[in-house]
Each structure stands twice: as C-alpha cells, then as structure tokens.
C-alpha cells in the first residue's frame, strides 16, 4: 500500500522530457530518420538493452513518436503507427511533407493540469491515444506522457498481484506465416490498426492454405515463433529495405518472451520492465498460442471500477482533491475563529419522516454561516477550510452539542415522542483522540439518549484511515450511538465499505432519487439497495425526495425514511416548532 501510495503524490514523474521536434515542412524521410535515430536500432527482440540507468531516458527514447512544431508551438504528432500507415500506401518519403500525414490537432494537456494520474490515464483511454504532449499557455511543448511512463509512475504492483494474465489478455491475435512477405505483415497491421503481428507455425499446415493470407488457424494449431512490430517497420523503412521481397522469417524478432495465462500481472509487468518491452506472447503449457498481453492491458486495471484495491485508490484520490481544494480556499482568507466568537454560525434542521408511521421521527442538523461582510457562505466552501486549519474540531463539537441540546428541547415539548438528531462528522473530528469521550460528555450533559444520536459519515471520512475508522465506529456503536453512511452509491467503493464497516443506516444519494419514477435504471439500483439493506438489517433513508411520485415509489419499495424538499426544506428552530405543531402531517 505504501509503495502504491507514494506514486500518486508524484504525478510530475510521469512527464518525460520533450521528444524530438520537427517542422511540418520537413520531409517524411527526415521524420523517419529523426524518429529512428533517437533510439537504438537493432532488428532482434534479443537486442541488448541501453547502458543507461535512467529509466526515464529509456522510456523517452522508446516513446515511438516525434512532435511537429512551428515557431515553437505544437502543430501535430507523428507516430510509429503513422509510418506503418503510409508504408502501405507507398508514399514518396523524399517529397511528402510531414504536415501531410501528421495527426492534427493534437490532444494535449497543460502542465498545471497534471495533478492526478488516474484522471490522465482515463483521458488517454477515452481519446485512444498512447502519447500525451504536455504544453504551456503559449502552446510550447514542455514534455510528454506515455502509457509506459504512466505505468512506471503509478507502480501498480499492489493491484497487479491479485490479477491473472488470462483476465486482461487479448485472445484475438492477428498472425502471419514465416513465409509471408513483410508487406503482408504491414497490411495486417494497417487493416486491424494494431501494433504487432505474431508469426506462427501452424500444425497440419499445407501449401494450399498458405496462399490465403486471411486463413485462420484454431488456437490449438498455432505455435508462436516470432513477432513483427510497428517499430520494426520503422527500422525497415529507415534502412530502405524492400518490404515486398523480404520474408517475415528473415526479419522477425525471435526467440519470443512468453507468459502463461495463469501468471500474475505483477510477474508480467516485472518481466516487461526487465526486458524493456511493451508486449508479451501468452502460450499454453503445451506451447500453443493463447493470446497477447500489452502494457495497455496492464494499465486497464487502473480503471476505478476494476481496481481490487479500490479503498486505497479512493483514499489517495481524496488526499489529492483535498490539497487542490485547500489551495483555492487560501485566497478567501476566512476568519472562522472571529466568526465563531461573533456567533455568526447557526444550525438549521431538515425533518426526517418514517414511512411506516407517517410521523416525523428526527432531523438532520445542518450548519449555516451568515457573515456581515461576505454574506451567506456555503458549508461546501468553509467546512474544507475549517478542516484545513484545524478549526473543524472546535466547530464540530459546538455543532454536536447544539444539535443534541435542541433535540432534548423538542423531546421535552412532546413527551410522547423521541426525536433523533443526525450530525455530520468530518475525518478530522473522527480521528481526534478525544472524540469518543467528548461525544459521551455531550450526551451526558445534554441528557440526550445515546440511541437518539446518529453520526453521518461520507466516503471521504471512511477512507482516511480504514482500520482506525472501523475501530472508532465500533466503539461508538457499542455504547448505542448509531452510524449512517451518507450519499451512499455515489462513490467508487460504496459496496466495498459494507465489507469493512457495519452501519446502522444507509442514506441513498439524491442523484438516484431525482425523477426515479421516470428512470428504470435508478429504480433498479434503489430497489436493490433497499433489499440489500433489509437483508443486512440496515435502515434506509432516501435523500432529496422532491415529488409525490418519488415518495410513492420509495414507499412501495418499503424504504424506511424520507428526507427532502417534498417534506420540508431545512428549517430554522422557530420554524421547526411551528412545523411540528401543524395538525397531523399527512404524506400519502
């Protein structure tokens, strides 16, 4: 975990130095020569590795692209795949300018936006690019991010050790025969838009079958004996070889480096790293071709919905987002201590309805700040700053004590009913060594029964320190305090939390409730959450209910509690009393 965690705090390490640059007016011959001379040129997969301890330099030299610039500004990009593409078209390299075949415009990123490697990876995946130029405000190239540099920087070993090659490998492999011409290999690279073809020696092979280049052999009949990549084609073109007259077996890379479908992805990544290659052939125990695995397949485990270590990833994401948020908040110069002393903070209360009894059984306490100088300030703005400055503990205990006092007042006003109070708790509060004892002191001082206090936590609280948080929540529940997970369903790992924590209440986020009567997908999701909660003996609160139709659906699904504007907006204390005194609230 620590090894993986460190990599997320150093996104700059994924940025390689700027690769070679060329004018759009230069010829393709010049571009190919520049691209080829920038790396070690040898025709064998067994080529010796560069005598360099600088892994970043090696990644740059093998990045497989050059950038096209004019007057210092990025204009386009030329990759190894482009070389393969125009090879098949027999373009005159000496007469064709780079501008005729380069990719333009280029998907790029400002350097100051390189703050989150998972986001960068998903952007590259969405745009289907392997090279991401990094530029400044003047469109000048500052560096390059590649799939290889991302994989190196993210250091995914923690996650890869749990996954097997067979889970992510590509079983559909485009093949060529050793007797085929190199031009036939280029045709297949272009037709399938792939980076390599595997050279196979089929069993039960006849000369008649070899005439059909599209002939497909079953996997059980193929033995891989070599490989030809885009990079090889670049080298062939640079050397001026006649691709029609040369056969595949004359220039293929061999012997092959192979892995088994049962090998772990961690083993596969280590092998790729030691050999400094981007793909491995997957073979069965009998030596037959089973598939191919590339560095792109390895990075697929970085998709947040696929990660096995999702809690750890989310924890790191929260830290990154918190740091970015705090940099923005600094400029506001909020004086929370002065505002507190001037009594500018107050609580409002949003009622919570129990469906089975059709009665108000509690409320959620929500803080508000009205500043004479700044006006009304959203909690989403000042709470993060309170957490950053450490003021959240003082503010949090005031919120907790004020809410508990108010709940006791309401209970005394109506001796026949218990009113519960829900209070949001931040990560900083929860890890305060005095949190449990201070909470118990507040309950004792105010006289609020322990079971009437519900502490609500968001996912950001849960992932700050999983083990410590679980222990604190357990101690709170042992004395009768109830624990609720807020905004359930919105994060990557909501279901995973149920394996690590025991909750009393799940609060379904309003994004699933909005227009649920018209959204079959959300109906299925919410229905499943409610059924799951019933099986796990959790209570369910639906947040953000605004219409009668939404309420009717939730009631039909046996959702325990309702909260939202359909029932009431958050109320001031004086308005709450009038709300409760209204003759029997009837929510049909």
Q: What are 279-293's pLDDT values in tens digits?
A: 999 999 888 899 999
Between 152 and 329, name the one with better pLDDT: 152
Determine, yes or no, domain membership for 316: no
Helix axes 230-239, 182-192, angle to 10 degrees: 130
Question: Phi and psi for 83 in degrees, rounded to 5?
Answer: -60, -45
| Structural domain harbouring 242 | 165-305
Determine, yes or no, domain membership for 509: yes
Q: Do 183 and 128 fall into the same domain?
A: no
**Mean pLDDT to the nearest integer, 384-389:** 82
Residue 499's pLDDT is 60
Determine, yes or no, domain membership for 88: yes
Q: Do 576 and 464 fall into the same domain?
A: yes
Neighbours of 426 (CB within 10 A): 21
Determine, yes or no, domain membership for 312: no
Determine, yes or no, domain membership for 311: no
Query: How open is the CA angle 412-416-421, to the nearest 5 degrees?
Result: 60
Q: Do 220 and 338 fall into the same domain?
A: no
Contact 65, 138 (CB under 8 A): no
Residue 219's pLDDT is 46
Determine, yes or no, domain membership for 144: yes
- CATH number for 354: 3.20.20.450
- CATH number for 171: 3.10.580.10
**Strand positions, DSSP E, 186-275:** 196-200, 224-229, 258-259
Q: What percent of the chain has pLDDT over 70?
A: 77
pLDDT at 129 over 70: yes
Residue 4's pLDDT is 39
Nearest Cα residue to 170 out of 295, 73, 49: 295
pLDDT at 333 over 60: no
End-to-end CA distance of the chain: 51
Q: Do 22 and 97 fall into the same domain?
A: yes
Range among 151-160, 431-440, 573-582 rated most confident: 431-440
Q: Do 460 and 430 fall into the same domain?
A: yes
Residue 496's pLDDT is 57
Q: Do 499 and 373 fall into the same domain?
A: yes
**Measured between alpha carbons, how far is 200 from 177 in angstroms, rounded to an integer?**
6
Q: Do 289 and 231 fall into the same domain?
A: yes
**Number of folded domains that form the chain:** 3
Between 563 and 6, name the one with better pLDDT: 563
Determine, yes or no, domain membership for 586: no
Mean pLDDT score of the chain: 80
Q: Do 559 and 446 fall into the same domain?
A: yes
pLDDT at 331 over 50: no
pLDDT at 502 over 60: yes
pLDDT at 204 over 70: no
Q: Do 461 and 564 fall into the same domain?
A: yes
**Strand positions, DSSP E, 57-124:** 65-70, 73-79, 109-110
Q: What percent of the chain has pLDDT over 90?
A: 31
Sorting pLDDT into bands at 50, 70 and 90, what band is 8?
A: very low
Last residue within a domain, chosen from 155, 189, 210:
155
pLDDT at 190 over 80: yes
Q: What tokens appear for 347 in the block?
A: 């609580």
Determine, yes or no, domain membership for 313: no
How far CA 56 is from CA of 123, 131, 136, 350, 506, in Å, comes to 22, 15, 21, 55, 47
Residue 5, exposed/middle/buried by CB under 10 A (0-12, 13-18, 19+)?
middle
**Mean pLDDT to the nearest integer, 295-301:** 75
Residue 367's pLDDT is 96
Q: Do 393 and 499 fall into the same domain?
A: yes
Last residue within a domain, chosen from 155, 183, 215:
155
State the DSSP H helix or E strand holding residue 131, giving kind and residue range, or none if neither: strand 131-135
Whether the bond between 255 and the residue before it is cis, its omega within 30 degrees of 0, is yes
**Mean pLDDT to the nearest integer, 516-536:** 84
Q: Do 137 and 173 fall into the same domain?
A: no
Last residue within a domain, chosen from 270, 305, 340:
305
Q: Do 287 and 408 fall into the same domain?
A: no
Residue 424's pLDDT is 94
**Mean pLDDT to the nearest integer, 396-410:** 95
**Mean pLDDT to the nearest integer, 156-168:** 72
Which residues, at least 6 apart from 372, have a Cβ–Cβ distance to it below 8 Å?
Answer: 344
Range among 39-48, 114-123, 244-253 rated most confident: 244-253
């Amino acid at each position: 975990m620590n090894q993986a965690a460190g990599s997320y705090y150093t996104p700059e390490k994924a940025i390689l130095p700027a690769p070679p640059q060329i004018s759009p007016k230069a010829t393709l011959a010049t571009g190919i020569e520049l691209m080829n001379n920038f790396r070690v040129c040898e025709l064998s997969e067994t080529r010796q590795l560069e005598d360099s301890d600088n892994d970043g330099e090696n990644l740059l030299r093998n990045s497989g692209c050059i950038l096209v610039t004019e007057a210092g500004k990025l204009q386009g990009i030329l990759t190894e795949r482009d070389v393969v593409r125009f090879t098949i078209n027999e373009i005159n390299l000496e007469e064709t300018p780079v501008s005729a075949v380069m990719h333009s415009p280029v998907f790029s990123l400002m350097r100051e936006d390189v703050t989150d490697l998972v986001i960068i990876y998903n952007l590259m995946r969405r745009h289907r690019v392997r090279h991401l130029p990094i530029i400044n405000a003047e469109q000048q190239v500052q560096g390059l991010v590649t799939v290889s540099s991302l994989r190196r920087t993210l250091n995914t070993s923690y996650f890869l050790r749990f996954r097997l090659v067979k889970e992510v490998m590509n079983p559909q492999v485009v093949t060529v025969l050793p007797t085929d011409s190199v031009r036939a290999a280029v045709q297949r690279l272009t037709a399938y838009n792939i980076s390599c073809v595997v050279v196979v020696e089929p069993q039960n092979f006849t000369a008649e079958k070899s005439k059909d280049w599209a002939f497909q052999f079953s996997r059980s009949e193929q033995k891989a004996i070599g490989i030809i990549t885009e990079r090889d084609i670049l080298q062939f073109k640079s050397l001026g070889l006649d691709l029609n007259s040369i056969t595949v077996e004359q220039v293929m890379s061999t012997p092959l480096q192979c892995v088994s479908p049962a090998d772990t992805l961690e083993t596969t990544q280590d092998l790729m790293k030691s050999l400094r290659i981007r793909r491995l052939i997957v073979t069965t125990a009998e030596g037959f071709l089973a598939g191919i695995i590339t560095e792109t397949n390895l990075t697929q485990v970085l998709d947040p919905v696929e990660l096995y270590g999702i809690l750890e990833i989310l924890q790191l994401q929260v830290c990154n987002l918190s740091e970015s948020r705090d940099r923005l908040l600094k400029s506001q110069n909020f004086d929370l201590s002065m505002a507190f002393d001037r009594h500018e903070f107050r609580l409002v209360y949003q009622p919570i309805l129990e469906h089975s009894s059709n009665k108000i059984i509690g409320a959620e306490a929500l803080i508000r700040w009205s500043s004479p100088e700044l006006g009304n300030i959203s909690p989403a703005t000042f709470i993060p700053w309170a957490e950053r400055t450490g003021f959240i503990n003082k503010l949090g205990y005031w919120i907790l004590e004020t809410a508990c006092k108010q709940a006791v007042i309401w209970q005394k006003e109506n001796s026949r009913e218990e009113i519960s109070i829900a209070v949001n708790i931040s990560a900083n509060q929860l890890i305060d060594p005095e949190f449990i004892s201070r909470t118990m002191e507040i309950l004792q001082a105010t006289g609020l029964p322990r079971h009437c206090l519900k502490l609500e936590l968001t996912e950001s609280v849960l992932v700050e320190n999983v083990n410590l948080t679980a222990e604190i929540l357990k101690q709170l529940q042992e004395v009768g305090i109830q624990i609720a997970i807020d905004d359930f369903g919105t994060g990557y790992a909501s279901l995973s939390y149920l394996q690590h924590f025991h909750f009393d209440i799940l609060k379904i986020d309003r994004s699933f409730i909005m227009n649920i009567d018209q959204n079959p997908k959300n109906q299925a999701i919410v229905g499943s959450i409610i059924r799951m909660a019933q099986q796990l003996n959790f209570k369910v609160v639906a947040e953000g209910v605004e219409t009668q139709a939404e309420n009717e659906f939730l009631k039909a699904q046996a959702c325990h509690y309702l909260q939202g504007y359909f029932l009431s907006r958050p109320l001031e204390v004086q308005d709450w009393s009038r709300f409760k005194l209204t003759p029997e609230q009837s929510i049909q």
